[in-house]
Amino acid sequence: MFTESELAVIRRIIASPQQFPTRAAIAREMCAVLDWLKPDGLPKVMSARVALLRMQEDGLLSLPAPTHSYTPAQRVKITDVSSPQPEIRCSISELVNLTLHRVTTTADSKLWNELVERYHYLGYRPLPGAQVRYIVKHEDTLLAVLGFGAAAWKVAARDSFIGWKATQRSDQLHLVINNARFLILPWVHVPHLASRILGMAARQVTRDWPKLYGYKPVLLETFVERERFSGTCYKAANWLCVGQTTGRGKLDRYHRHSLPVKDVYVYPLHRHFRRFLAIEETY
């Protein structure tokens, strides 16, 4: 993730405890010195703090002790609001008022979290970085939920498909967003509903993302666990399978952990997406 020269800069910052006594101060200075900024020009402080922790776990550096104790996030409470409903069986043509509602209220957020925790095989975890979540309804009937968040840092199959160099990926990764969760509620049985929702979501997120974050994404990505799913709805929605993951976690530099292999799917949001993603700043 970082070059040896960048690691040396970070170590020098850590070695100045009078100027940078806390992890937060180190992260802020790291962003300033390495020009690590979000598209809106603000420093990527939270991303820097995560990167510092990962480098410490890998033995690349040693951080000062945290100034605040860590309190694990509480599990999502399951309530009657997410209880199973009567089965819905119909054709997709009968769902003429299918809509995607962006999660904006506390009540909708709690509902989204609870449904994902209760019915999605991965459960609920906060989506990383910039994000947008949707609740899918037909009139007042709840059918599905899905959410988009920050793209994975490094995926060989995706990066090869784009034609990325490491520096290009670092500069343009924000233009790729990840469909991190997609759940058709288990009592909903409507053929072709999933692919219809994916098509609607691709159009909707293109409109919503610039309003929230000030720029347009040009590529969607997602990961489909091969032993669980065939990716049929993504294929039907014209997503492209560009390869597979290696079965290693993003922190697993030493091949110590094995994870399920996943198919990597992408969906271009712009016909010239490679042109946007391949831009490389020159100095």
| C-beta neighbour count of 57 within 10 angstroms | 10
Residues of the chain with CATH 3.40.630.30: 81-277
Q: Give the residue from 105, 121, 124, 102 showing the smallest Cα distance to 113.
A: 124
In tens, the pLDDT along 202-246 reads 999 999 999 998 899 999 999 999 999 999 999 999 999 999 998
Position 252 pLDDT exceeds 50: no
Tell which CATH architecture fits domain 81-277.
3-Layer(aba) Sandwich (3.40)
Residue type, 46: M
In tens, the pLDDT along 87-123 reads 999 999 999 999 999 999 999 999 999 999 999 999 9
- Cα–Cα distance for residue pair 104/99, rounded to 1 Å: 15
In tens, the pLDDT along 195-209 reads 999 999 999 999 999
